[in-house]
Every structure is written in structure tokens, then in C-alpha cells.
Amino acid sequence: MKHWSAFSWIAVLALGLSACGRDAEPTMRRYREIATSASAHAGHDHGDSGGAAPMRNAPGGMSDMAAPGAPAVTAANEPVAWTTPEGWTEQLGNPMRIATFIVGAERVECTLTAFPGAVGGIEENLQRWARQINLQVAPDTLAKFARSPNTFKTEGDFPCLTYDFTSLAPDADPSILAAILPLEDRTLFVKLTGPRTLLEEQKEAFTALCRSLRP
């Protein structure tokens, strides 16, 4: 009986403590940090070939723009030229998403984006893109994949590394064709996400687009 009384006190204490802090109002913190490309973004990774949405001015002047803290957007604004593959439709872009191409009957988007600086490592970008198509890749496999791109120089002498996710995961659907062009002051990304069959059909056109990139 004595033991049960003590346990019942302890149980009441436990329930009371577990209820503490629940449903409390969220509280705000305020602090200052140095504006760097890492701290202005998600802490370690930054840069994504998904790029910014086309500029939208919601009422009140709200819009999607480049993140503050990144080096001047002008670096990413330096003009890049290309040759649109046959059968692809080009859409207007903005300072971060240079161009969007509509591909195939499924009207899948291929994006050409630019980010100032080195914007993270190859593996981090590949890992992020793998997650976008719900692909679980072991670190060793990803590291091997990252070290085996198809590499060439474009018409404008840009180094280009292309990655075909259908070779990494043949059963994945949708999948991705991606290209990373690390330039001196910015990095260009070309990314086509879509059904596997479409990627197989459009792989040559994708490579041709990448090869055509020039200042």
C-alpha cells in the first residue's frame, strides 16, 4: 500500500511534467549573423538547378528573388547564349533562372540556372536531386557516381559535367538528366526531370543544349 502511494505520486508528477511546455505559444529569437553564402542559405548546401520561380509580384511588393548574402547577382547575370534543341520550346527566364525549355508531349521543364560562386559540392547537389525523385543512394555509390560524369568542353569553352540518373537507378521513374558547369565566378546548372522514356529520347538533345552553351 505504501509502495502504491509513492508510485501514484510519481505517476502524477510524471503526467504533470509531461504536460508542461505543451501547446505553449511559440517564442521568437533574435540574433545577428554574418551574411555569407552558407549562412544565408540552409547552412551547408546551396545552389539548386531548380532555380527561382519566374518573378512574381504579389500585392504588397512580395516577390521571389535571389537570397541576400549571396555575392552580387550581377555575376549570375552575365549573359549566356545557347542553341535551343529542335522540338524544345523556350520560355522567358529571370536573373536566376536563365531559361526554361518545355520538352516533349508531356511538357516537362528543362531549366538552365546560374548561381554566383561555387554553390556547394557535386555530391551534395547530386544527393539533393536524388532526394527530389525519392531515390535513396548509399554514400559510396553516390561518390562513385559523382566521380564518373560525362565530361566535355562546350562551344564557349565551359567545362561541363553531365550526369544521367537513369544509369544510377535504372528503375527510377521519374529520373533526371543534369549538367554542372563550374565557371570562374558562377556555376551553371542544366536539369531535366521527367519520365525515364522521355529522358532516353531527349538525351541527345539535352547534351546538344549543354554543348551549345557559350558567353
Partner 1 sequence: MNDETHKTSRAAAIWAYLGSAQITTYGLAFLMVLTFWGTLYQVQNGLYLAKERFFDSWFFLAAGVVPFPGTQLVLAVLMLNLVVYLIRLLARKKLTFGLLVIHLGLLLMLGGGAITHLFARESQLTLAEGESGSASASYGDWEVAVWSREGDMLDVMAYNSNALKAGDVLRFEDAGLTLRVEEYYRNARAFQSTTPLTNAPLSSHNLSSLRSTKLAKEPGENIAGAVITIEQQDGAPARAILFGEDEVPTTFAHDGKDYTIALRRMRDPLPFVVTLQDFRKEMHPGTGIARHFSSRVTVSSDGVERDMVISMNKPLRDRGFTLYQASYREEPGSDAQWSTFAVMHNYGRMIPYIATGMVSFGLAWHFIVMMVRRARRSGGASA
Residues 110-139 that bind partner 1 (CB under 8 A): 117-118, 120-124, 128, 131-132, 134
Cα separation, 115 vs 2, in Å, equals 70
Site string for partner 1, 140-159 (x = CB under 8 A): ------xx---x-------x
Q: Which of 203, 164, 159 is nearest to 180 (CA)?
A: 159
Longest dimension (CA), the chain: 88
Q: Strand order in 97-103's β-sheet? A: 89-91, 97-103, 108-116, 186-194, 175-182, 159-164, 150-153
In angstroms, what is the minimal distance from the CB of 94 to partner 1?
10
- Residue 185 CB, shortest distance to partner 1, in Å, is 12
Residue 126: what are its φ and ψ, rounded to 5°? -65, -40
65 vs 81, beta carbon nearer partner 1:
65
Place of cell 560524369: 149
Per-residue binding string, partner 1, 157-176, x by CB under 8 A, is --x-x---------------
Is-contact 173 179, C-beta < 8 A? no
Find the binding residues for partner 1 in span 5-34 (CB under 8 A): 5-6, 9-10, 14-15, 17-18, 26-34
Applying CB under 8 A, the site for partner 1 has a residue count of 72
Window 45-84: contact mask with partner 1 (x via CB under 8 A): xxxx-xxxx--x-xxxxxxxxxxxx---------------
